[in-house]
Amino acid sequence: MLEDIIKAEIDKKDIISVDQFMEYALFHPDYGYYTKKDPIGRAGDFTTAPEISQIFGELIGAWLAYCWQEMGAPPDTKLIELGPGHGTLMHDILRATRNIPSFHDSIRVCMVETSPTLRRLQQQKLQYSHPLIKWFDDINNIEESPSLIVANELFDALPTKQFVKTGQIYKERGVIYNKDGFAFSLYNEPVADKRIEKLLAQEPYCHLSESSIVEISLASIDMMRSLSKRMLSHKGVGLLIDYGYALNPAMKKTSETLQAVRQHQFSNVLEHVGECDLTTHVNFSLLATIAEQEGAKSSPSLEQGTFLKAMGIDIRGEILCKNLLEETQKDDIIKGIYRLTDPSEMGNIFKAMSFYSPILPMPTIFREFFHDC
């Protein structure tokens, strides 16, 4: 069904862009992957950090509450989570911060979620945790106020365009279909979007070698602009965690990172449309540039393992283990910490990046690793 809808669109235009294809596959209002499916957990397609260990949300809660105190503990703060999945991260944030004086009385929890299926799960999980939790489709519908913002594995799900270096220029990559199904192809016309042209003229893109693939997500750029603007009218701090990379201006070649995952296995991006999670690695350098362009500040990204260790994940694990009687439960805690922090697991490929109001210092942990500039 979804395949027929996409084919009809290709019939009209001959080719559709990779981000349009992703938009259909992930977010079509009736048949999109996120619209109809609960993708997270053992029975789904992938597992995320908050589902691996409760400590992940506890430490992020502690970090957010500390930032709130550094903002001067404003009494009308919005605690905003984008793309909350099962609601586990917010559940653990709220549980871990309930004894911090005045914090719960000062926050309004705002969940930004586009999937009706996941929104229902979040409502079931959170209805007793905190009064007055509200759900939104779009961050731009949340009234301006002091803000604490968190997003784990949101940006990797936002649709991305792809461009292929062909001779001296870039051509946009798109999706067509033939007798064997969907296939990648290149647009004939050169790139016309001024925003993209400007980006592709910068380092490292301007000197990349033949057949390099560059991924640019306009959806991520728009999202980052909205988040950054919130940092200007009132005090605010945000934390983004995702698998991704920082750009090196000297790099000579880039490849695609677009991938499909289905039932915890890699799958073909163009097959089982609407049944697989499609993601790309997040370009943290670009997000930081957007934040700065809007007048907000941003930190460099820090490996997830480094961030969680600096937040005391090992000590928290020891305390939890001391209070547990069953060896299997202790084992789960230790394995969870290993998975979140070890470089061979999620410790290095996942990164944390903060952004914040220009009148605030760089947030804790980040300022201990990077010069406050």
Nearer to ligand SAH, 48 or 162 (CB): 48
Q: Which residues contact 18 (CB under 8 A, 6 or more apart)?
A: 159, 160, 161, 162, 173, 174, 175, 184, 258
**Nearest approach, Cβ of residue 81 and ligand SAH (Å):** 7
User: Smallest distance from the beta carbon of 152 to ligand SAH, in angstroms?
Assistant: 4
**Residue from 22, 25, 40, 175 that binds ligand SAH (CB under 6 A)?**
40
**What are the beta bridge partners of residue 354?**
239
**How would you class 345 by CB atoms within 10 Å of its CB: exposed for 0-12, middle for 13-18, buried for 19 or more?**
middle
**Among 32, 57, 61, 83, which residue sits at the site for ligand SAH (rule: CB under 6 A)?**
83
Q: Does 238 help bind ligand SAH (rule: CB under 6 A)?
A: no
Contact stretch for ligand SAH (CB under 6 A) within 59-67, 112-120, 178-186, 345-353 = 112-120
Touching ligand SAH, residues 156-215 (CB under 6 A): 157
242 sits near ligand SAH (criterion: CB under 6 A): no
In angstroms, rounded to a whole number, what is the distance separating the alpha carbons of residues 297 and 288? 8
Nearer to ligand SAH, 152 or 257 (CB): 152
Neighbours of 273 (CB within 10 A): 26
Site map for ligand SAH, 124-163, x if CB under 6 A? ----------------------------xxx--x------
Binding to ligand SAH by residue 274, rule CB under 6 A? no
Angle at 347 between CA 240 and CA 48, to 5 degrees: 60
* One residue of 44, 50, 336, 347 binding ligand SAH per CB under 6 A: 50
List of residues contacting ligand SAH (CB under 6 A) = 34, 40, 48-51, 82-85, 89, 112-115, 118, 152-154, 157
